[in-house]
Amino acid sequence: MTKSTSNALQRIADLVENKKSLFIRISDQIWEYAETRYEERRSSALFAEVLEKEGFAVQRGAGGIPTAVVGSYGSGKPVIAILGEYDALCGLSQMRGEARKSPVVQGGNGHGCGHNLLGSGAIAAAIAVRQYMEENKLPGTVRFYGCPAEEGGGGKAFMVKNGLFDDVDAAVTWHPGTTNHIMSSSSLATCQMYFRFHGRSAHAGGDAHLGRSALDAVELTNVGCNYLREHIIPEARIHYAITNTGGLSPNVVQAEAEVLYKIRVPKSEQLADLYERVCNVAKGAALMTGTKLAIEFDAGSSELIVNRTFEQAMYEKFAELGCPEFDEDEARFAEEIRSTLTEAERNHGLPPELAGKAFADRLEPYEVRQEIAVAMGSTDVGDVSWKVPTVQSWIASMALGTSLHSWQAVSQVGMSIGHKGMLHAGKVIGATVLELLQQPELLEKAKAEHRQRIAGRVYQSPIPDGSVPGPVRR
C-alpha cells in the first residue's frame, strides 16, 4: 500500500467518523419506522432529504417507483452505484437492546434483516466519497441508490427493468451479519405468485354439496406441491404462505381463498419451467374442486453474477481497515443474546476459529476460486449484477449465532452493536468505490470478467411486462 493510498483510505475513514452521529440517527430513525416493502415512504423521504443536504442531485420516486430514491454527485464516467436498502419485515417488532423477546407493538414490523443499517452504511459511504471527490477534484460520478422492497418485493429488479442502471459502470453494497467476509457465492433466482381461488359458498352442514370450496383448492395445491418437491432438482425450493383462508366460520364453505408461492432455482433460465409446473398444480386443484383460479405475479429476482476481480479489490480494502471492535458491555449483551439460542444456532456455519466467541473478531480469508458456490437464499442485488460488475461484503453487526429474520437481530441492529458494523461498512464501501474511481484499469478488468461471466446468456427480467410493484398483503 503506497503512502497516497494509505492517506486516501484514512481520509475516507475520517469522513465517516466525522459524521457518525448523522448516520446513527438515520439508522435509528429507519429502525423506528420499520416500514415494509413499497411502504417505505418516511424512510425513503429521510434518505432523500439527507442526500439533498449533502449536495447530491436527488430523484425521488426513481424509475416510477414511489419509494425508490437515487442521489447523484459528480459528472461523467465512471458511474459507481452504492446500493442501500431500508425495508423491514412483518411480525418482527422488538425492543432495541433487550435480550428477551419484547415486541414494541404486538405483531408489528421489525428490522430483522438489518436494512436500517444497510441503507445507513451505504449512504455513509456515498457522503464520504462525495466529500473526498470534491476535496480532490476527482472526476466521475457516485450514486446512492435507495432500493425498496428487497424482502420479497424485487425492488432492484423493477429498478433495473425501468432503466435506472443503464449508464452505471459498477455497483457496491454490503449486508449486516455475524461474520466479516466478502460474498463470493451466487444466489438463487426466485419469483413468487398468488393463487387466488374463487368458489361458491354454502352451508357446510345443510347443503355442502352445493358449495365449491376455495380453501380445499388451496390445500390441494399445497399437497400437490409437496409431492412435486421429490421431482425437482435438489437445489430448487418451493415455499408458500396461506394469505386468505376464506373466513373464520367452519360451517361456511369458503368461497374465496388465496395462497402465495415462492420458488427458487440456481439459474434464472430454470425459473420458467418450475413456475409452469407449480402453476399446473394449482390449475389441477381448481379442476378438482370446481373452482376458478386467478394467478397474479408478485415479484422476482435473478441469481447473483460473481466478480472475482471486485471481490479481491474489496477484500484488500477490508483487510486494511480491519474489523469492527466491540466493548465489554456489548460483549456481555451478546452473551445474553446467545443464551437465547440453541446449541445448533450458536455454531451454525461458523469456522472453528470463532467457536465460543461472542463476536467475530477477524476477516475471513478470501481465495480466488474458479468454482462458484450457491448460497441458498435470494437477493435482488442479483439483477443489478447482471447489468454491471457488482460486489458485496458482509460485516459483523450482531452476535455470533444470531439468525437474520429474528427478534434477536432486531434488538441488536437498533443499538450500538449494529451501529459499529454500519459505520465500518461505510468505510469499507467508501474505500472500495474510491479505488474504482482512481484505478480505471481495475474497473476495466472487472468489466471484462463480467462480460465473460454472462457470455452466451441473456438477462431475462424476472418481472413480466405490465407488472407493478406493490406492498405486502396484510
Q: What is the pLDDT of residues 102-146, one digit of tens each?
A: 999 999 999 999 999 999 999 999 999 999 999 999 999 999 999
Q: Give CA separation, 290 vs 277, 281, 458, in Å.
A: 20, 14, 40
Residues 198 and 105 in one domain: no
442: exposed, middle or buried (Cβ count in 10 Å: 0-12, 13-18, 19+): middle
CATH number at residue 88: 3.40.630.10
State the cell numbers at 92.
418482527
Residues 424 and 296 in one domain: no
CA gap 17, 311 in Å, rounded? 25
Whether 173 and 83 have beta carbons less than 8 Å apart is answered as yes
CA proximity to 257, closest of 293, 298, 208? 293
336: exposed, middle or buried (Cβ count in 10 Å: 0-12, 13-18, 19+): middle
Identify whether 474 is part of a domain. Answer: no
Domain encompassing residue 209: 189-301
What is the chain's alpha carbon radius of gyration, rounded to the nearest angstrom?
A: 23
Identify whether 467 is part of a domain. Answer: no
CA gap 250, 202 in Å, rounded? 11
Identify whether 308 is part of a domain. Answer: yes
Q: Final residue of a domain: which of 286, 301, 316?
A: 301
Q: What is the 3-state secondary structure (H, E, C) of the chain?
A: CCHHHHHHHHHHHHHHHHCHHHHHHHHHHHHHHCCCCCCCHHHHHHHHHHHHHCCCEEEECHHHCCCCEEEEEEECCCEEEEEEECCCECCCCCCCCCCCCCCCCCCCCECCCCHHHHHHHHHHHHHHHHHHHHHHCCCEEEEEEEECCCCCCCHHHHHHHCCCCCCCCEEEEEEEECCEEECCCECCEEEEEEEEEECECCECCCCHHHCECHHHHHHHHHHHHHHHHHHCCCCCEEEEEEEECCCCCCCECCCEEEEEEEEEECCHHHHHHHHHHHHHHHHHHHHHHCCEEEEEEEEEECCCCCCHHHHHHHHHHHHHHCCCCCCHHHHHHHHHHHCCCCHHHHHCCCCHHHCCCCCCCCECCCCCCCCCCECCCCCCHHHHHHHCCEEEEEEECCCCCCCCCCHHHHHHHCCHHHHHHHHHHHHHHHHHHHHHHHCHHHHHHHHHHHHHHHCCCCCCCCCCCCCCCCCCCC
Peptide bond into 78 cis (omega under 30): yes
List Cβ neighbours of 456 (8 Å cut-off, separation of 6 or more).
Answer: none
The segments of the chain whose pLDDT lies below 70 read: 1-5
CA gap 67, 49 in Å, rounded? 13
Residues 207 and 256 in one domain: yes
pLDDT per position as a tens digit, 229-275: 999 999 999 999 999 999 999 999 999 999 999 999 999 999 999 99
Identify whether 210 is part of a domain. Answer: yes
Whether 121 and 16 have beta carbons less than 8 Å apart is answered as no
Residues 341 and 422 in one domain: yes
Domains identified in the chain, total number: 2
Residues 52 and 169 in one domain: yes
Residues 208 and 271 in one domain: yes
Residues 322 and 444 in one domain: yes
Q: Give CA separation, 190 vs 263, 271, 357, in Å.
A: 6, 7, 35
Identify whether 463 is part of a domain. Answer: no
CA dihedral 24, 25, 27, 30 (to 10 degrees): 170
Residues 9 and 148 in one domain: yes
State the cell numbers at 319.
483487510
Identify whether 274 is part of a domain. Answer: yes
Q: Final residue of a domain: which of 278, 301, 324?
A: 301
Whether 176 and 225 have beta carbons less than 8 Å apart is answered as no
Residue 19 one-letter amino acid: K
Residues 173 and 321 in one domain: yes
pTM of the model: 0.96
Residues 83 and 179 in one domain: yes
Strand duo 292-301 + 170-177: pairing: unpaired
Whether 5 and 431 have beta carbons less than 8 Å apart is answered as no
Identify whether 473 is part of a domain. Answer: no
Q: Final residue of a domain: which of 254, 286, 301?
A: 301
Strand duo 292-301 + 189-198: pairing: antiparallel
Identify whether 38 is part of a domain. Answer: yes
Residue 172 forms beta bridges with which residues?
A: 82, 391
Residues 207 and 171 in one domain: no
CATH number at residue 231: 3.30.70.360
CA gap 383, 303 in Å, rounded? 7
CA proximity to 391, closest of 82, 33, 50? 82
Residues 294 and 316 in one domain: no
Q: In what order do the strands lie in the sheet with 292-301?
A: 237-244, 256-265, 189-198, 292-301
